Structure 1
Amino acid sequence: MTEGESLAGLMTSYVASFGLGILLGTVFLWGLWLTVHRLPTAAHPAMLMLASLLLRFGVTLAGFLLIARIGSWEHLLLAAAGFAMPRLMIGRRLRSTTAGEDPQA
């Protein structure tokens, strides 16, 4: 913590970085979900996949670059952890659904 920076301000910026990571991960997976659901009816499925991949990577990279320019390596680390959270939560929910358990538990 540098001089003039309060603990509350530092914690707020860390929570914001983590939240932005979660948002980026959610947008990335949502874009993938939309793409996969459009593939059966797409005229050019390969072009749809490539365009989706480039757009999702572009948005994700822009978000991480913004975090890197504003914050430090700690902010990037928290954003990366947040980015992985939606994938872990969806994976856990899908495993519990296929196992016959209640997904809301």
Structure 2
Amino acid sequence: MPDYGSDSLGWAQALLVGGVLGAVFFGGLWWTVHRAALSPTPARWFLVSFMVRTAIALAGVYAVGAGSPAHMGLCLLGFVLARAIVLRATKPAPAAAAVASRVPPCA
């Protein structure tokens, strides 16, 4: 008799790990943008951050999806869902957005 319980647990774990990987990737991107804006060498921040974030994400997706296309797909789905969550979490407050909209883009 097939054991469907453990399979669904594996799917949930793959989705959760994908979400964590996505949160690390996109949260790291948000952190990098804020750090690089204040740095005298922003290109270095972006390059190193990109390499580290990509290495972590690829290693995680490869580890989760090794041998199972369904697990890899669910991991990638969690990664994309984490992007939406990070976008909402890092969205500026409405008052800050109103102040920022009054500043000319070249100022």
Q: Unaligned 5+ residue runs, structure 1?
A: 99-105
Secondary structure, counterpart of 1:42 in structure 2? coil
2:76 to 76, 80, 86: 80
Q: Which residue of 1 aligns with 2:44?
A: 47
Q: Report percent identity of matched pairs.
A: 30
Count of equivalent residues: 94
After TM superposition, where is structure 1 displaced by more than 2 Å over at least 4 residues in a row? 89-95
Q: Unaligned 5+ residue runs, structure 2?
A: 95-107
The alignment's TM-score, normalised by the length of structure 2, stands at: 0.77
| Distance in 1 separating the partners of 2:2 and 2:72 | 19
Q: 1:33 to 1:92 in 2, by over 3 A?
A: closer
Secondary structure, counterpart of 1:43 in structure 2? coil
The alignment's TM-score, normalised by the length of structure 1, stands at: 0.78
**Does structure 1 residue 89 correspond to structure 2 residue 85?**
yes
CA RMSD of aligned residues (A): 2.1
